[in-house]
Amino acid sequence: MVAYRYLGNSGFKVSEITYGNWVTHASQVDDDDAIATVHAALDAGITTFDTADAYANLAAEEVLGRALSGQRRESLEIFTKVYFPTGPKGPNDTGLSRKHVLESINGSLRRLGTDYVDLYQAHRFDAETPLEETFQAFADIVRQGKALYIGVSEWTAEQLREGHALARELGVQLVSNQPQYSMLWRVIEGRVVPASQELGISQIVWSPMAQGVLSGKYAPGGAVPEGSRATDRRGGAKFIESFLRDDVLAAVQRLRPIAEQAGLTMPQLAIAWVLQNANVASALVGASRPEQLAETVRASGIKLDADTLAAIDDALGDAVFADPEHTYSMAPETRLA
């Protein structure tokens, strides 16, 4: 079964493996298969589920809500997010203004079929809204009982410090950040993780398999597999492009004997690797088929020894993206429309 970790400096526990439904529900996967996959996640011991209002323009939340209908609510940890444009995408249908935040939480709760979410996250930093306005809205949501904790996604170390100070002033808990993190994409290690450790903020990391590249299914010099993330022009392909260089793909193939020596599959090695970081509370995984989760959850609780970790670093070498300046590329300078 899946192990649990505390989220930030709180008494709230989440499963080490979080099921996320970006680019799958209401998009790549039909609703019946999506619901079956959520039920497989529950059967495998995953109780933490992450979504966002922007996923499939509101529809992914609806699918997840239907999939979780009838489950004991107290036994689940449900996360969603606000920031990206939704609905008709008008001038106030985006960002972290008080208007958009308060309207968005009500819509998310309705679509998810729940009275509250465990974690409500700012999907990106909104440079066009005063941070005080955003956090006052978040604090009101917490006091209304519509969210229990507050988190963010892809915030820089400086933004985390400013947000954490405001949250404390308003008497609410900022407990998490949701950044991209994998063996190949380590940009949070230089600044974001040290700041988070100081502030009592955990990472809930997305793309621990580097958009599927760390599964080893992309061969250097070869065509991308049909139906893979690299062929998904609705959202997945642009995130995987930087990893599809032949030198990166060749380095990933050097991980195969390391995984075999550890008695793990390539996906299990990738997920276990991010969970070695004590500041990581959970690894976000998606699935298009129920059987994929049976393999994924076995990464929970795995301890990689020092020799294995060193061998991974040697195998990947210069293929790793580690420059902390890359964290700024994920933080928009203007509100996305």
214-258 pLDDT tens trace? 999 999 876 566 555 544 555 555 668 889 999 999 999 999 999
d(CA 179, CA 172): 21
pLDDT of residue 337: 60
* This prediction's pTM: 0.94
The answer to whether residue 336 sits within a structural domain is no
d(CA 106, CA 40): 28
Using alpha carbons only, how large is the chain's radius of gyration in Å?
19
The answer to whether residue 334 sits within a structural domain is no
Buried b (16+ CB within 10 A) or exposed e, 169-202: ebebbbbbbbbbbbbbbbbbeebbbebbeebebb
Structurally, the chain folds into a number of domains equal to 1
d(CA 113, CA 49): 14
Is the pLDDT reported for residue 194 higher than 80?
Answer: yes
- Maximum Cα interatomic distance, the chain, rounded to a whole number of Å: 55
What percent of the chain shows pLDDT beyond 90? 84
pLDDT of residue 231: 47
The answer to whether residue 337 sits within a structural domain is no
CB 119 within 8 A of CB 151: yes
**How far apart, in Å, are the Cα atoms of 69 and each of 62, 136, 148?**
11, 31, 20
The answer to whether residue 19 sits within a structural domain is yes
CB 66 within 8 A of CB 31: yes
User: What would the mean pLDDT of 33-56 be, rounded to a whole number?
Assistant: 95
The answer to whether residue 301 sits within a structural domain is yes
d(CA 265, CA 246): 22
The enclosing domain of 153 has a CATH number of 3.20.20.100
For the residues of 68-122, what is the DSSP string, one character each?
A: HTTS-GGG-EEEEEE-S--TT--TTSSSS-HHHHHHHHHHHHHHHT-S-EEEEEE
pLDDT-derived band at 90, boundaries 50, 70, 90: very high
Find the domain containing 316 and state its range.
4-9+12-329
The answer to whether residue 335 sits within a structural domain is no
d(CA 27, CA 141): 29
pLDDT-derived band at 163, boundaries 50, 70, 90: very high
pLDDT of residue 242: 86
**Which residue has 């509101």 as its token pair?**
58
**Which residue has 């974690």 as its token pair?**
119
39 against 334, higher pLDDT: 39
CB 167 within 8 A of CB 155: no
What residues are labeled active site?
55
Helices (H) and strands (E) in the chain, counts: 13, 10
Is the pLDDT reported for residue 28 higher than 80?
Answer: no
The answer to whether residue 116 sits within a structural domain is yes
For the residues of 201-262, what is the DSSP string, one character each?
A: -EEEEB-TTGGGGGGT-S-TTSPPPTTSGGG-TTTTHHHHGGG-SHHHHHHHHTTHHHHHHH
